């Protein structure tokens, strides 16, 4: 009976099954890849020649289309000459999984071919640095503007129409301009990531902030919160978990802009590595490098999600953590210097009552 | 129509004690008055009057319930009094001064849960105190006392999502009362709770009100709730919107749910019932007969 419940609409799955499915979601495409790579009858459109035989233009280790190989075989057989030999292979641009897996290790160990070229880890480091700078600069400007636009109609009307227009301008279109203004090294790349991230960021965050439950704001108003305190003590904390999620998604977008940014000016970072390896026809390294971007992106997202559970304890069901976590400063009054207790007018009744 | 015959006294019948109670209430100072209040909705070319000519004087430490059919603007009235909405005419006076916006002299408890989810229970209660300029340690002591009063001292470090609906509303009451408002506005605060919890909360509220010097303006659509809680009940109507009647509640205090069958209670409720649920005029014969059982059941 239990297996029938797998497909219950909107039904919670048991945790064990969830983990199984998560693993399966990775295993399935991998299995497909394995099938294509290791089962010759699935695809393998080429034949790798091991013995050229009498075919004059065949050479050892040459890949020829199957039909051509068969035609040549038939021709040689008819002429009673030595037949070529070979085995079926996939094109060179589709290496089998084990080679790519191996490349994850070997790519780091292989020294660059030319003395001036960076190692893989240097390329990756360069990419991560570029993306962090771009995202940081964008966030320093974008998050406050987003919060202002979400909180006040004034700023929303002042900034958002232009930003809405600007976000349709594709960031790569600014490549030449950025190089002309900022040179050929890292600054134009950071600028591209900034342009790609910033405008989306303002709009997304403004929208998130606008979605803060208005009854929370009203409750705070009846409790005597003034305008700026409402922003600081209600609107920001009420939206911060969603803003944090937005930032995680935006960081993912920044990775897509990275590849564009890195071909601007002098090619650098992981893109340079991928291009070089493709030029050398080391496609296993190419796949490994692309997968590494995925691993870094996905891994950093999981890491940030975990950090989120520490930063925002109220989102968890369990208890026992200090309120506010590292963001405590947001949730408390900054050192109220006035230490005099407010004396309530006409207080005949004990308020609150004596025990 | 009904086979039950009850001798229900006129709801205005008051024992001398009750009459004396209202006399005493009326001798208290008026802290809060609504003068000829008017509210409209809609765009300028299609304006609909929600209510007009609402004038009420409320004495200190009175418990006022506002009831009325949905759409009569009772929640809007509460929001205007709280300063969250603006009136289109008339004024609301606190101690003779016109109110212009939300202020610390008026606390509000909403129907929905409006505790700040990112703050612990204690910090929620401290919020209003800190906004009033109290320093953290004093506010903490004060907040603890209020949590003690609503019986939630044990939960001071819990987050709102760890509390039940009734507990959340008790914290909300503590939070609203902590900053010492003159008047506590409650907009169907127990509307989202189940019947049993609601009954408990009503008793809690009366207990708290007995200990605290606060006037309560309580919006509800539950007739029993109004009868159980109120000193006076403001009945509002629609078309035209406004006050239908301002009823003095003859049910003696201290109240208990056991009074629900007392003649005063029933009389008052019958009166309210007539205002809120006027008899529906349907020609019974014309009602379509649908889904009758074929078993020939006797259906009344």
Q: What is the pLDDT of residues A272-293, one digit of tens each?
A: 988 888 888 888 889 998 999 8
Report the pLDDT value the prediction gives residue B13, as an integer from 0 to 100. Answer: 66
What is the count of residue pairs from A and B with beta carbons less than 8 Å apart?
127
Dist. CA A233–CA A334, nearest whole Å: 11
Q: What is the pLDDT of residues A29-61, one digit of tens each?
A: 999 999 999 988 888 889 898 888 888 888 888
Dist. CA A52–CA A56, nearest whole Å: 8
* In chain B, residues 158-187 whose CB comes closer than 8 Å to chain A: 158-162, 172, 175-176, 179-180, 185
* The pair of three-digit structure tokens given for residue A158, joined into one six-digit string: 């002042």
Q: What is the DSSP letter of B92?
A: E
Is the minimum CB–CB distance between A73 and chain B shorter than 8 Å?
A: no
Report the pLDDT value the prediction gives residue A282, as an integer from 0 to 100. Answer: 86
Q: Per the CB < 8 Å rule, is B135 touching A216?
A: no
Is the minimum CB–CB distance between A331 and chain B shorter than 8 Å?
A: yes
Dist. CA B43–CA B24, nearest whole Å: 45
**What strand order describes the sheet that includes B183-187?**
B106-109, B183-187, B215-219, B63-67, B232-237, B242-248
User: pLDDT confidence of B299, banded at 50, 70, 90?
Assistant: low
What's the pTM? 0.78
Report the pLDDT value the prediction gives residue A118, as an integer from 0 to 100. Answer: 82
Is the minimum CB–CB distance between B132 and chain A shorter than 8 Å?
A: yes
Query: What rounded mean pLDDT belongs to chain B?
Result: 85
Sign of the four-CA dihedral A176, A180, A186, A189: negative
Kindly report the CA angle at B250 between B247 and B251, in degrees rounded to 5?
125
Q: What is the pLDDT of residues A293-327, one digit of tens each?
A: 889 989 999 999 999 989 998 887 544 444 444 44
Is the minimum CB–CB distance between B119 and chain A shorter than 8 Å?
A: yes
In which residue are the tokens 């004495």 written?
Answer: B59
Angle, in degrees to the nearest 10, between helices A283-311 and A120-151: 40
Q: Among A55-69, A306-320, B177-191, name the one with the lowest average pLDDT.
A: A306-320
Looking at the predicted structure, is the pLDDT value of residue A110 above 70? yes
Report the pLDDT value the prediction gives residue A202, as an integer from 0 to 100. Answer: 96
Chain B positions in Cβ-Cβ contact with residue A353 (cut-off 8 Å) = 149, 211-212
Q: Per the CB < 8 Å rule, is B102 touching A221?
A: yes
| Alpha-helical segments (H) within B14-94 | 16-27, 74-82
Mean pLDDT over residues A90-110, rounded? Answer: 87
Report the pLDDT value the prediction gives residue B259, as an integer from 0 to 100. Answer: 86
Please tell me which of the candidates B131, B135, B158 has its beta carbon nearest to residue A223: B131
Mean pLDDT over residues B258-285, rounded? Answer: 79
Report the pLDDT value the prediction gives residue B175, as an integer from 0 to 100. Answer: 94
Dist. CA B9–CA A49, nearest whole Å: 110
Q: What is the DSSP letter of A167?
A: T
In which residue are the tokens 């003590």 written?
Answer: A233
Q: Evaluate whether A262 touches A123 at the Cβ level (below 8 Å).
A: no
Looking at the predicted structure, is the pLDDT value of residue B6 above 80? no
Is the minimum CB–CB distance between A329 and chain B shorter than 8 Å?
A: no
Kindly report the CA angle at B204 between B199 and B208, in degrees rounded to 5?
150
Nearest Cα neighbor of A260 from A169, A172, A194 is A172
Rounded to whole angstroms, what are the CA distances from B103 to A222, B108, B132, B138? 6, 10, 10, 21
Report the pLDDT value the prediction gives residue A210, as an integer from 0 to 100. Answer: 95
* In chain B, residues 68-107 whose CB comes closer than 8 Å to chain A: 82-84, 101-104, 106-107
Q: What is the pLDDT of residues A231-256, one digit of tens each?
A: 999 999 999 999 999 999 999 889 88
Task: Work out the number of other CB atoms within 10 angstroms of the CB of residue B35.
Answer: 16
**Three-class DSSP category at A335:** coil
Chain B positions in Cβ-Cβ contact with residue A348 (cut-off 8 Å) = 213
Q: What is the pLDDT of residues B153-173, one digit of tens each?
A: 999 999 999 999 999 999 999
Is the minimum CB–CB distance between B189 and chain A shorter than 8 Å?
A: no
Please tell me which of the candidates B108, B123, B212 has its beta carbon nearest to residue A331: B123
């Amino acid at each position: 009976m239990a297996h029938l419940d797998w497909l219950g609409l909107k039904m919670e799955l048991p945790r064990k099954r969830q983990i199984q499915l998560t693993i399966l979601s990775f295993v399935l495409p991998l299995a497909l890849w394995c099938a294509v790579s290791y089962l010759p009858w699935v695809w393998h459109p080429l034949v790798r020649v091991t013995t050229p035989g009498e075919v004059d233009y065949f050479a050892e280790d040459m890949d020829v289309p199957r039909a051509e190989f068969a035609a040549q075989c038939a021709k040689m057989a008819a002429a009673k000459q030595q037949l070529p030999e070979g085995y079926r292979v996939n094109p060179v641009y589709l290496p089998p999984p084990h080679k790519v897996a191996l490349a994850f290790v070997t790519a780091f160990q292989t020294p660059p071919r030319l003395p001036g070229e960076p190692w893989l880890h240097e390329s990756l480091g360069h990419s991560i640095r570029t993306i962090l700078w771009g995202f940081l600069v964008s966030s320093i400007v974008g998050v406050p503007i987003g919060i202002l636009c979400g909180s006040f109609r004034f700023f929303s009307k002042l900034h958002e129409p232009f930003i809405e227009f600007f976000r349709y301008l594709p960031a790569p279109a600014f490549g030449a301009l950025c190089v002309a203004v900022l040179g050929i090294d890292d600054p134009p790349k950071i600028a591209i990531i900034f342009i790609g991230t910033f405008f989306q960021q303002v709009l997304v965050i403004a929208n998130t902030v606008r979605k803060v439950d208005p009854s929370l704001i009203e409750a705070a108003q009846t409790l005597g919160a003034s305008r700026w305190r409402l922003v600081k003590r209600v609107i920001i904390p009420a939206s911060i978990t969603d803003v944090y999620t937005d930032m995680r998604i935006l960081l993912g977008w920044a990775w897509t802009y990275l590849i564009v940014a890195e071909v601007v000016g002098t090619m650098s970072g992981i893109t340079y590595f991928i291009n070089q390896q493709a030029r050398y026809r080391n496609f296993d390294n190419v796949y490994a490098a692309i997968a590494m971007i995925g691993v870094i992106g996905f891994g950093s997202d999981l890491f940030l999600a975990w950090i989120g559970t520490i930063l925002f304890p109220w989102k968890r069901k369990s208890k026992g953590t200090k309120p506010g976590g590292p963001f405590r400063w947001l949730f408390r009054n900054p050192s109220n210097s006035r230490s005099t207790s407010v004396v309530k007018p006409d207080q005949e009744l004990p308020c609150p009552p004596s025990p | 129509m009904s086979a039950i015959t009850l001798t229900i006294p006129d709801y205005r019948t008051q024992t001398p004690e009750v009459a004396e109670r209202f006399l005493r209430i009326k001798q208290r100072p008026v802290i809060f008055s609504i003068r000829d209040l008017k509210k409209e909705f809609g765009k300028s070319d299609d304006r609909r009057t929600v209510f007009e000519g609402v004038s009420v004087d409320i004495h200190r430490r009175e418990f006022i319930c506002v009831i009325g059919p949905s759409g009569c603007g009772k929640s809007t009235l509460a929001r205007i009094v709280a300063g969250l909405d603006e009136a289109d005419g008339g004024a609301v006076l606190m101690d003779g001064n016109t109110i212009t916006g939300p202020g610390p002299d008026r606390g509000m408890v909403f129907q929905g849960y409006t505790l700040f989810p990112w703050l612990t229970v204690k910090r929620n209660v401290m919020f209003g105190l800190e906004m009033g300029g109290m320093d953290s340690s004093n506010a903490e002591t004060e907040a603890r006392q209020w949590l003690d009063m609503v019986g939630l001292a044990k939960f001071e470090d819990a987050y709102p999502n760890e509390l039940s609906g009734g507990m959340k509303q008790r914290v909300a009451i503590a939070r609203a009362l902590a900053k010492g408002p003159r008047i506590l506005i409650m907009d169907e605060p127990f509307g989202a709770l189940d019947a049993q919890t609601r009954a408990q909360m009503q008793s809690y509220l009366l207990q708290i009100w007995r200990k605290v010097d606060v006037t309560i303006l309580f919006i509800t659509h539950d007739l029993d709730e109004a009868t159980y809680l109120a000193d006076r009940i403001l009945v509002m109507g629609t078309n035209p919107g406004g006050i239908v009647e301002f009823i003095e509640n003859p049910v003696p205090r201290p109240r208990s749910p056991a009074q629900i069958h007392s003649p005063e209670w029933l009389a008052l409720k019958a009166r309210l019932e007539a205002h809120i649920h006027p008899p529906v005029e349907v020609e019974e014969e014309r009602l379509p007969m649908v889904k009758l059982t074929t078993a020939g059941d006797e259906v009344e």
